[in-house]
Amino acid sequence: MSTTVSRDWLAGLNSAQRDAVLHFEGPMLVLAGAGSGKTRVLTTRIAHLIDHHGVDPKHILAVTFTNKAAGEMRERIARLLGTEPVGMWCGTFHSVGARMLRNAAHLVGRTPSFTIYDEDDAIGVIKRIMERLRISAKDHAPRAILDAISDAKNALVTVAEYEAMAKDPHARAVAPVYKELEGALRQANAVTFDDLLVLPVRLLQEHAHVRAQYQDRFRFVLVDEYQDTNRAQYRFVKLIGGEHANVMVVGDDDQSIYGWRGADIRNILDFERDFPQAAIVRLEENYRSTPQILDLANVAISPNTERRGKTLRSTRPPGERATVVGAYDDRDEADYIVEEIALRRGSPGGRAPGQSLGSGLTLRDFAILYRTNAQSRALEESLRRKGFAYRLVGAVRFYDRREIRDLMGYLKLIANPNDDEAFRRAVAAPKRGIGDTSIDTLAAAAHAEGLPLLAASVRPDLVASLRPAARTALAEFAALIGRLREAAREASVDELLRDLIDAIRYGEHLKSEPDVQDRLDNVRELVEGAAEVVADEGGEVGLTPLDHFLQRATLVTGVDTMDSQADAVTMMTMHNAKGLEFPVVFIAGMEDGLFPLSRAFDDPPMLEEERRLFYVGITRAEQKLYITHARSRRRNGELMPSIPSSFLGVIPPGMLEERSTMKLRATGRSVMPHPSAASRRPGARVSFAPEADAEVSQDAPRFVKGERVRHGRFGSGTIAELSGVGRDTKVTIDFDDEAVGRKRLVVAYAGLERGWD
């Protein structure tokens, strides 16, 4: 390709974008504001490296956070070049990590056909380890144990380090499970999501020849969404790119919203600490939103202190002010949003007052964003009453549906006969006369022999104590898996699935289930999806079509599968909305205790992250933004009073168009109090209704499970359980003093102090 084509690429870039694209060697930090064209910068720079500087694509590693973004990046680069960039690695941290591990599986105690455990698989392993260690699931929830181990792994905290730091009862329960987990995963030839980040780091740190191989292979490293990297991802980038320092990271410190799962905003704030010679480019021209929306975003984020600072500037003509709407309750709020969609869309009833958007809006042009998934219920009911199609992003994934998990269990076991979680799932679907007691007996014998369940099921001495019918059923099941495993060497994945479904008569099994037609349709969709599977370009060691299909299915997210062309209103949490954009956006539930969450008022870094999440929500809107809040909201079956979010208090008068619903006006309280930064401290509870309880938090209880607290008489302890709402909130605490033990207290009377060690 000619340099003339390259100059054409540059012609459409603004000066800051051009600086980023033309940068050749050395580190670079690109601070890319929302809607500033960062994907265009990344893809154009890669094309420029290949076309202008003659860099072989195999020397380029591009990492992003979603499979969808990675796919779009590959497609754009191919369009720019006019050909596929053969040899370039482009994917998520997890998919790149999986590829590296399959290339060197023996160095981490696995084979290339290892299984990637999702959360349910991992919790299953945790439960069985807890049973062996006699750790009560009532005292320590398996999910909480897994979360603690996940946090430790992503922070690169080893088992020995965790054991040394385990001081409270919960941590002391986690430590032995963490220690046992690695052995269990090795035996199952499996890894967790977290291992896809941690094990590649271990590979690079502990094996100099592997590190040298990847440093030599990837001479140019580009990382998108760098503000969301955690400790493991940060180390991964440093280990691969630290030697040659040709590292370009792109991100927005104002959109760092994953601190709760280990992301560290300091990675982007302190980039020059690791790369002192880094060039810095700020992308501040926004191509997405109107000036009114961006002015609001700039003001909303301004109170944050943990930021480098930048000001978004719109390239679009002026539009409407954002509208803030007070509603009577959450149902009234939902009805208002749906009616406004009908008006904006041009349904019977005419256009919305002051509407300046162009005509021709469809349902897919509208998005409803909220802080928590629980808020979707009232919105769904209102949309259904109106007859509007909608899609929930982040709800039950296709691959999490029971019938799909059943068949995936078989495929996982066929690919990896050491996978005990897959064995347990497959052997029970459909039922074949092998009860839980028989499986538990087999599992105990297998564990004693150090064998996986499938291998143990064909050992006469290990099944001798089982009923004859169970022994026969196990033998038939093992024979079926063996036959399908042999067939998988030649058959495509869809052929394998059809053979499996016929062999176990799964269609007949589903006929006794509710929603049988939906389940059968899902099975057909699984088979059709499997027919489209082809191995990745370049190939991976040990990656068969079945391995590839299982890896893709395990790593897919709700956003990855979202059909952008479906004519339906999109509903999702603001975390899921990251990276998306819509002509009209509604942010629902802007109330203290819900957004921001009440516990954020006692945690300044968390409060800043909540404000960044608000900023993300605002900047999803292209043409029109609505912000709604309710005077009361149903939580845990109880109608609770609420007040507008303190985040609205920094917005100057006149920047927002203020409205209230007809139902709220009918109560005589149509003027909603506007929380002013000058008149109230963040987190102060203000009542705008005489009957409202000013001390009741929208997010009650404000304490969380696993939190450290202190009681005036009983001393320090760890919260084990929470129940009730408002003044009836009760808390169960494991006190450090064994003479005190476990106590159940009423929060309103206990006088608990938080944060004690």
φ/ψ of 754, rounded to 5, equals: -100, 160
pLDDT confidence bin for 692, thresholds 50/70/90? very low
Q: Kindly tell me if the per-residue pLDDT of 715 is higher than 90.
A: no
Q: What is the pLDDT at residue 563?
A: 63
Q: Kindly tell me if the per-residue pLDDT of 352 is higher than 60.
A: no
Catalytic, 224? Answer yes
From 19, 38, 128, 718, active-site residue: 38
Catalytic, 225? Answer yes
Find the helix packing angle between 468-487 and 420-427, rounded to 10°: 110
Which of 18, 145, 38 has the alpha carbon at shortest distance from 579? 38
Q: Kindly tell me if the per-residue pLDDT of 515 is higher than 80.
A: no
Q: How far apart are CA 321 and CA 292, in angstroms?
A: 6
Q: Kindly tell me if the per-residue pLDDT of 258 is higher than 70.
A: yes
CB 748 within 8 A of CB 696: no
pLDDT confidence bin for 689, thresholds 50/70/90? very low
Which of 394, 396, 425, 492 has the alpha carbon at shortest distance from 117? 425
Ordered alpha helix ranges (H), 532-661? 545-555, 604-618
Q: How far apart are CA 754 and CA 757, in angstroms?
A: 9
Greater pLDDT, 339 or 1:
339
Find the helix packing angle between 38-51 and 3-11, rounded to 10°: 170
CB 455 within 8 A of CB 417: yes
Record the tokens describing residue 44, joined without a space.
């154009």
Q: How far apart are CA 710 and CA 658, in angstroms?
A: 44
Q: Kindly tell me if the per-residue pLDDT of 367 is higher than 90.
A: yes
Q: What is the pLDDT at residue 669?
A: 62
CB 600 within 8 A of CB 383: no
CB 48 within 8 A of CB 77: no
Catalytic, 372? Answer no
What average pLDDT does range 342-355 have in this prediction?
Answer: 58
Q: How far apart are CA 22 and CA 380, in angstroms?
A: 48
From 153, 620, 624, 633, active-site residue: 620
From 118, 225, 419, 540, active-site residue: 225
> What is the secondary structure of 165-219 as a DSSP string?
H--SHHHHHHHHHHHHHHHHHHHTTEEETTHHHHHHHHHHHH-HHHHHHHHHH-S
Of all residues in the chain, the percent with pLDDT exceeding 70 is 88
Catalytic, 255? Answer yes
From 39, 355, 362, 557, active-site residue: 39
Q: What is the pLDDT at residue 725?
A: 60
Helix, strand, or coil here: 563? coil
User: Whole-angstrom distance between the N-terminal and C-terminal Cα of the chain?
Assistant: 64
Q: What is the pLDDT at residue 728?
A: 63
Helix (H) or strand (E) holding 251: strand 247-251
Q: What is the pLDDT at residue 711?
A: 83
Q: Kindly tell me if the per-residue pLDDT of 694 is higher than 70.
A: no
pLDDT confidence bin for 755, thresholds 50/70/90? low
CB 326 within 8 A of CB 660: yes
Q: Kindly tell me if the per-residue pLDDT of 530 is higher than 50.
A: yes
Does the CA dihedral 672-674-679-680 come out positive or negative?
positive
**∠ CA 607-143-172, rounded to 5°:** 90
Q: How far apart are CA 10 and CA 18, in angstroms?
A: 6
Residues in CB range of 360: below 8 A, 6 or more apart: none
Which of 627, 647, 617, 595 has the alpha carbon at shortest distance from 34? 617
Q: Kindly tell me if the per-residue pLDDT of 108 is higher than 70.
A: yes
Residue 157: exposure state from Cβ atoms within 10 A (0-12, 13-18, ≥19): middle
Q: What is the pLDDT at residue 475?
A: 94
| DSSP code for 704 | -
| 267-297 pLDDT tens trace | 898 898 889 899 999 999 999 999 999 999 9
Find the helix packing angle between 15-22 and 3-11, rounded to 10°: 150
Q: What is the pLDDT at residue 598?
A: 87
Find the helix packing angle between 493-503 and 516-531, rounded to 10°: 150
Q: How far apart are CA 452 and CA 718, in angstroms?
A: 37
Q: How far apart are CA 107 and CA 210, in angstroms?
A: 10
Tokens 């799932």 — which residue?
A: 425
Q: What is the pLDDT at residue 691?
A: 31
Helix (H) or strand (E) holding 649: none
From 229, 255, 375, 623, active-site residue: 255
Range 611-649 burial, b when 16+ CB lie within 10 A, else e: bbbbbbbbbbbbbbbbbbbbbbbebeeeebbbbbbbbbb
Greater pLDDT, 638 or 192:
192
Q: How far apart are CA 689 and CA 692, in angstroms?
A: 5
pLDDT confidence bin for 398, thresholds 50/70/90? confident
| 454-512 pLDDT tens trace | 999 999 999 999 999 999 999 999 999 999 999 988 888 889 999 999 999 998 888 87
* Residue 192: strand pairing partners: 117
Lowest mean per-residue pLDDT among 73-87, 263-277, 702-716: 702-716
From 19, 121, 195, 224, active-site residue: 224
Catalytic, 213? Answer no
Q: What is the mean pLDDT of the chain?
A: 86
Catalytic, 38? Answer yes
Helix, strand, or coil here: 30? strand
* Residue 571: strand pairing partners: 368, 392
Record the tokens describing residue 312, joined without a space.
């978004």
| 149-168 pLDDT tens trace | 999 999 999 999 999 999 88
Q: What is the pLDDT at residue 356?
A: 45
Residues in CB range of 415: below 8 A, 6 or more apart: 113, 115, 488, 544, 546, 547, 550
| 294-344 pLDDT tens trace | 999 999 999 999 888 888 999 999 999 999 999 999 999 999 999 999 999
Q: What is the pLDDT at residue 545?
A: 81
Record the tokens describing residue 129, joined without a space.
């380890």
Which of 509, 501, 526, 523 has the alpha carbon at shortest distance from 410? 501
Q: Which of 85-89, 198-202, 305-309 is most confident? A: 198-202
